[in-house]
């Protein structure tokens, strides 16, 4: 069959959610499904493999810490970058990602599926004060808007269970009190953003097949032009 590449602009679809919510599994499943429909697909993620992304990976795995100067009492603290510096690094990584990967691919007709984007910065770097959202939006204001953001709403208990099964390390944010705050932030951000941009909330708690069926239905409704032949919706194709 003739490739659908270059016939029109591609699409930019983002998956968001807590660690363990299913974003990796579902973005892969969607990529494989669309490739079977003969669409050119790129699966990508943030933080990226680029220069800023590499610094962020060191930070996330707690390998970017330094010993502060001992206080007069002799206490020495381990420090990491401030939340604002981390947010700026994520925004810089995102702009680099857009310029060198996302935009060229979309312009080439590719369906770009990205795991995490600016909602992750809003949820993870916002902290306890929702007033920080405005600044986070400002530093991300040059980032292109996705054609669709799918937020996988998965309970913290399920996320924790999946993470402990699949991961050998714990990242900087994987502490119960932080993740509870991040979950609240995601809820706040998603409810707010869906008023002005294409956002879908999908229950990420059921098994991966059920979640994926719901996602395919959404993709079908949002992008009917991608599926001119309704038989294409059969999952086995
Ligand atoms: P992951 O590769 O397992 O999804 O982990 C990425 C981590 O980076 C995850 O804890 C969320 C965090 N993160 C942010 O804090 N801000 C961001 O903008 C992005 C993209 C990720």
Which ligand 1 atom is nearest residue 91's CA? Answer: 18
| Between residues 74 and 3, the one the model is more confident about | 74
DSSP string, the chain: ----TTSS--EEEEEE-STTSSHHHHHHHHHHHHHHTT--EEEEESS-SSHHHHHHHHHHTT-S-EEPPP-TT----EE---HHHHHHHHHHHHHHHIIIIIHHHHHTT-EEEEE--HHHHHHHHSTT-TTHHHHHHHHTTTSPPPSEEEEEE--HHHHHHHHHHH-SS--TT-SHHHHHHHHHHHHHHHHHHTTTS-EEEEE--S-HHHHHHHHHHHHHHH-GGG-SSGGGG-TT-
Q: Is the CB of 200 under 6 A from ligand 1?
A: no
Mean pLDDT computed over 143-150: 98
173 alpha carbon to ligand 1 midpoint, in Å? Answer: 9
Mean pLDDT computed over 222-237: 69
Q: Whose CA is nearest to atom 6 of ligand 1?
A: 47
- Return mean pLDDT, the chain: 90
pLDDT above 80: residue 138: yes
Q: Is the CB of 19 under 6 A from ligand 1?
A: yes
pLDDT for res 78: 62
Q: pLDDT grade, residue 237 (50/70/90)?
A: very low
Q: Is the CB of 16 under 6 A from ligand 1?
A: no
46 alpha carbon to ligand 1 midpoint, in Å? Answer: 7
In angstroms, the CA 79 to CA 97 distance is: 28
Residues 148, 46 contacting (CB under 8 angstroms): no
Q: Is the CB of 94 under 6 A from ligand 1?
A: no
pLDDT above 80: residue 234: no
Q: pLDDT grade, residue 62 (50/70/90)?
A: confident
Q: Is the CB of 15 under 6 A from ligand 1?
A: no
Q: Whose CA is nearest to atom 13 of ligand 1?
A: 120
* Per-residue CA distances from 235 to 13, 203, 217 (Å): 19, 19, 11
In angstroms, the CA 25 to CA 19 distance is: 12
Share of the chain above pLDDT 90, in %: 74
Q: pLDDT grade, residue 76 (50/70/90)?
A: low
Every domain of the chain and the residues it spans: 11-48+82-225
- CA-based end-to-end distance of the chain: 13
Q: Whose CA is nearest to atom 9 of ligand 1?
A: 19
pLDDT for res 193: 97
Q: Whose CA is nearest to atom 15 of ligand 1?
A: 124
Q: pLDDT grade, residue 17 (50/70/90)?
A: very high
Residues comprising the chain, all counted: 237
Q: pLDDT grade, residue 168 (50/70/90)?
A: low
pLDDT above 90: residue 215: yes
| Between residues 63 and 117, the one the model is more confident about | 117
166 alpha carbon to ligand 1 midpoint, in Å? Answer: 16
pLDDT above 70: residue 184: yes
pTM of the model: 0.91
Q: Domain 11-48+82-225 carries which CATH code?
A: 3.40.50.300
Q: Whose CA is nearest to atom 4 of ligand 1?
A: 19
Mean pLDDT computed over 218-228: 94
Q: Whose CA is nearest to atom 16 of ligand 1?
A: 121
94-125 pLDDT, tens digit per residue, is: 999 999 999 999 999 999 999 999 999 999 99
pLDDT above 50: residue 139: yes
pLDDT for res 236: 43
């Amino acid at each position: 069959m003739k490739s659908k590449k270059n016939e029109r602009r591609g699409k930019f679809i983002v998956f968001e959610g807590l660690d363990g919510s299913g974003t990796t599994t579902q973005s892969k499943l969607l990529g494989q499904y669309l490739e079977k429909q003969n669409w050119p697909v790129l699966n990508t993620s943030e933080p990226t493999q680029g220069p800023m992304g590499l610094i962020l990976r060191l930070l996330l795995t707690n390998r970017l810490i330094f010993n502060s100067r001992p206080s007069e009492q002799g206490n020495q603290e381990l420090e990491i970058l401030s939340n604002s510096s981390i947010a700026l690094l994520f925004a810089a990584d995102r702009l680099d990602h857009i310029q060198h990967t996302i935009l060229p691919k979309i312009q080439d007709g590719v369906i770009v599926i990205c795991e995490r984007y600016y909602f992750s910065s809003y949820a993870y770097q916002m902290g306890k004060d929702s007033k920080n959202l405005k600044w986070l939006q400002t530093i991300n204001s040059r980032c292109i808007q996705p054609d669709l953001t799918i937020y996988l709403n998965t309970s913290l208990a399920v996320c924790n269970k999946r993470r402990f099964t699949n991961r050998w390390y714990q990242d900087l944010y994987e502490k119960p009190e932080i993740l509870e705050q991040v979950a609240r932030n995601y809820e706040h951000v998603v409810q707010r953003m869906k008023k002005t941009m294409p956002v879908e909330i999908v229950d990420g708690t059921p098994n991966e097949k059920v979640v994926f069926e719901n996602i395919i239905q959404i993709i079908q409704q949002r992008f009917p032009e991608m599926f001119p032949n309704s038989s294409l919706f059969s999952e086995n194709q």
